[in-house]
Structures are given as C-alpha cells and as structure tokens.
Copies of this chain bind each other. A is one copy, B any other.
C-alpha cells in the first residue's frame, strides 16, 4: 500500500467517479459516520457514491443515513473507511477484499491491503481524519455531513473521554457544531438513551461477571441465548465491551460473545501499559492499544481459557 497525503487523496477523489465506500462488519458510529459523510461530500461535488456494508446499518444512525439514498451505478473506485483489515469485511462486501483502491483509516494495525492509503493511528477516529480531508478538499460541510462526522468522533471516543482525544479533536468538534452538527441530540441518542432490550441485556450480562488475578481481570459473557432472551439487537452490544474495564481496579476487561457456528468473539479493553492489540494478535485479531478484538473458534470453555491465559501473561508482562 502506498501511503499518500491528504492532497493526493483529494486528487484521487476529484479525478475518479462511481465510488463504493466499504464499511467493516457490525458497523459502528465511526464506520457509518465516515462512509456516509464521504459519500455525501462526493455527491455534492457531482460524483456518484454509495456506502456499502455486508451487514445492515443500525437504525440508530438514520438521522444522517436517511439522506443517502442508494444510487444506481457500476462501482469503479473502491474506498474503505475505518477498516483495519479486509478480514473485517462481511457478506457481499467481501468480494471487494482485493480490489480496494484507497483506504482511509485510523488503526495503527492497518494491514495495508489497499492500493493507496491514508492511515494515522494517532487520530481519535476515522471520522476525524475525514474532517481533515474535507478541509483540504475545501468542500462545504453541511449539517448532515457535520452530523455524520460528529457521530463518528463522539462514538469512537466515548464522547471525548478516551486518551485518543487530542486538543485538535475538540477543535474539530467545535467546527462541526458551527457547521450545524446537532451535538447534544447526537450525544443523548448515542450515550444517554437505551432500549428496554438493551437494559435487559446489560442486566443479564452483569450476572456473568467474573473476576480473576486479584480483581485485575474482569470477564463477561454474552451468549446467543442471552441475545435472544433479552430481545436485544446486535448494535445493543456496542458499549457493553467497555463495562468490565470500568470497574475499579480492573486492568483488563474481557467481553466474550457467542456467535453462530462455534465462533466466540472477544473484545479486550486495557488500562495502564497493557497492549490489548498484542493480546488479540495472538488469535489473529487486532485493534488499538487500549481496545482490540479477535475471534476464537474453539469449544466455549477452551476459548475462554485461551483468552484468560493470554491476558494473565500480559498482566505479568507489566509487573
């Protein structure tokens, strides 16, 4: 992958057309916000562009996604946003795995699968990178674009809470508000509002909470049965992964989620100098230093034990 500048990214966007903007599976606010913002802007400069995801777009983002009706065209230029590796593509998006022309991402662990790439692992969110790109492109940021970008930034930073937030992140938030971003409404929707089903999911998941290593590791488990009984949507599990790490004294929070077909998906959140991405790499996953994920295809107890062992080793590594 050839690393290029914002100016070169802008040139590629101005000089191509019929864009498909790929999102990772189980798309979060940053993936959806980045992809939709980019498509809205590309359309505003006369291009055709569709966001594309193998999974459904969670309805909670409809306050900006509803402004992007699908366009009919043959994709010619494939862009990925917030996509660390093509292994994170799902469904029909997989067929573009080896055809990505341009990758815009903020994962330091990005595998470099695209022809061209703008990747900066120090930026809070892919949406924050999109904002810098739009500034270089000198395009208009209207209310809908501002809402999409603001959504990406606030969801990927826990509402400006994480260490990935820089002074510049706050300045970008200020500019997006001035461009019309409905920040208070977005924050309420993303952080201070939950469905009965999500609340029931949280209650059931809390019952599974286990501690080990003198309370420094906390573990929760979301089974398929829990998902069904609670009636929660897949997107309701967003945010649950941060619960175990929020408990005082916990240095590694593990969320284990049962998937169809004997797969267990792990989310790992870490404190201090423990590298979550290093832990998850051992199982073919990746992510950021304080937040990463991976899948283990094993029997339930064995999968859990494998992850716990890796986390205990990581804890020992910093002692």
Contact = CB atoms under 8 A, between A and B. Distances in A.
A209 B171 CA distance: 39
Contacts of A55: none
A207 interface: yes
Nearest to A186: B161
Contacts of A215: 196
Contacts of A206: 199, 202-203, 206
Contact of A207 (B177, B184, B193, B203): B203
Give the interface residue-count category, chain A: 35 or more
Contacts of A158: 187, 192
A247 B207 contact: no
Contacts of A249: 196
Contacts of A162: 184, 187
Where chain A touches its partner, the secondary structure class is helix
A171 B168 CA distance: 9
A247 B167 contact: no
Number of this chain's copies in the complex: 2
Given A178-B167, A203-B206, A191 B247 contact: no
Given A167-B177, A203-B203, A247 B194 contact: yes
B199 A184 contact: no
Contacts of A295: none
Interface in A148-182: 158-163, 165-171, 173-175, 177-178
Interface in A85-139: none
A203 B207 CA distance: 8
Contact of A174 (B159, B170, B187, B199): B170
B209 A199 contact: yes
The 7 closest A-B pairs by CB, nearest first: A167-B174, A163-B184, A161-B187, A170-B174, A170-B170, A170-B173, A167-B177
